[in-house]
Structure 1
Amino acid sequence: MSASSSEDDSEQYEEQFKEPELPSEEGAATSPPTKRRTADIWITYKGQQFKIPPLFQEKWTERNDHRTLLNDTLIEFYMRHWMVNDVYDNEARKNFHIFNTFFFSKLKLRFSQYFKDGPPRRSELGEHFNRCFQRVNPGAFLRKEILVVPIHLERPKHWFLALVHNPAGAIRRYKIKKRTERENNPGVPLCQQINEYAEFEFDELAMECRIVIMDSLVHDQKYKTALNTAYNHAFDYIRLWLQMAASSLGEELMIGRVRRVICKKLPQQTNSVDCGIYMLAFAEYFTWYNTEWTRQSTESLEYLLMEDQLKEMLDSLEPRMRLEKLLQRLKSPDKGN
């Protein structure tokens, strides 16, 4: 797994992010593009096609620099396809899982539908998981090191990220012991035999599970109430999903070992439309270029940082121009673009 927070890795990420400039007609990063793609295009990537909206719009505002909100198709393409295949290596692909852009919305919908009066009883967690999430193998997720959950809000329209680190750190499993002569003795009560035969196994030294919220509007006062509610929902719903997934495997998630962290020191957007760009950057950077944070204490993650040069780059047009260049390179010739 690629892991470092050194200056070399920061520079590597910056170089990855700073592809050659777009053709001159797209304009410089410091001024509004003079010619912009204002229509959808189709791109083809590894046999799949995606309809991509423009990254810039005609209407000029000083704050937004013609920028548009990134939609779910573009987020899905970049995170679940481009990052997985062209950024990660084989080891990272085994250690990480990126959920699709509708995963969290489905959690909210299903949980609000089934659990209007509160969470289900512990004895019913596995049954609810099998009913709500058919054709899902929970073990494939709970053994990953990092689960990546993109989250989209409708009010305000906004993207932020949740990284679930070390879900297995909160799970205790049944440990099957070999029966002894005493356990086979008819004089030993059956309940005692069962308790001695099926015990929970838990590694007390294992790092706990952390649900880490990364948001480029975390300090925004206008939407403070809505965002705090969204963070609470993200933590509660993801933790409940982990509980249900573990229960469906006959295991138990110890909710006291699932910790919530809201990062307070990450770069913040200075306009109303770049949340998607920042979310992509957080996901890419903290799952590939810098994974040192996975070895830090939970308390320290609130102060997780990105280097100053990356902050400056994210606040410019450069990420969109780099993304547009990639999209143009993948443009489908058979779609009449």
Structure 2
Amino acid sequence: MVSIAALALFGWLAFTLVMVGLQVKGASDRIALDQREVQVAESAARVDRYRDSVDAQIARVEQRQQILDALVDRYFENVEVDPEAEAETAASDESSEAIPEAAGLAALENRQLAFARALRVAVDRRTVETAAQIRRFGIDPNALANQGMGGPLIPASVRSHVDDELAELEVSLNRLAVMELSLRSIPSATPTSRVSLSSPFGLRRDPFGGGRAMHNGLDFRGAHGQGILATGDGRVVFAGRKGGYGNCIEIDHGSGVVTRYAHLSGIDVRLGQQVDRGQRIGRMGSTGRSTATHLHYEVRINGRAVNPRPFLEANRNVLENESAG
């Protein structure tokens, strides 16, 4: 009986140990399964975040492309991108590694970066050319472009190296725009529609006394009432009677450059008015110290009269109908 009882107890202990072992293994399997489910869920969440990141990148890239297209349409017809420079910009990001579809997006972004750099080089080259044209008139392009600047300092923030390159491109484009506006303000247009030179700049015989006298401008003959045009963008700083000049208009073009239009029969602008290059400002006449109907035209830099001819000759054929006298 004792042996039977011992055998039964041993069997029960063995059965109990097996059941406990099975329960432990089951619990371990359930824990492992739960862990795998958590990992899968986390992986899915990461993929979703990456896909959201790709969507955000696509939006940014499309916005950049619109900006680049607009800049090219506005300033340039064609900009060539160096393939080697484009290759140097290649770089991987987290989303392109996690999601294969993002690799094409990263490549497009790199191409845009290379294109922005190439466009900036073209912009800087054009700015240099514009500055050289301004220097031909004896005017400092930096002084002309930097006048009237100011305002509170608001630092710009950028999110990536591509945005940084676009920001630098915008700075270059703004400088080019200012430089080209400055060039436009230089008085190099014709002061009247029909140009016929009757007296040059420099020493001449005074038409009244006959002695030698300095002539500080150019005289253009024409018909009474013929339209007089602003030779550059600027602001009217004088409009009225001025001694021997008769009816006279003076326009300030900035950077110390002023043009004077004299002997007018009529004035069509007012003091302080902003005028555009080629805008009609008055009518030809013979007021003041004048022998006949004509326009006396002067260019003054920092108060000193200079020969207007180099300014006018910047436009081809401006004086092709001139006649010396």
TM-score normalised according to structure 2 size: 0.21
CA radius of gyration, larger in: 2
Higher relative contact order (CA 8 A, sep 6+): 1
TM-score normalised according to structure 1 size: 0.21
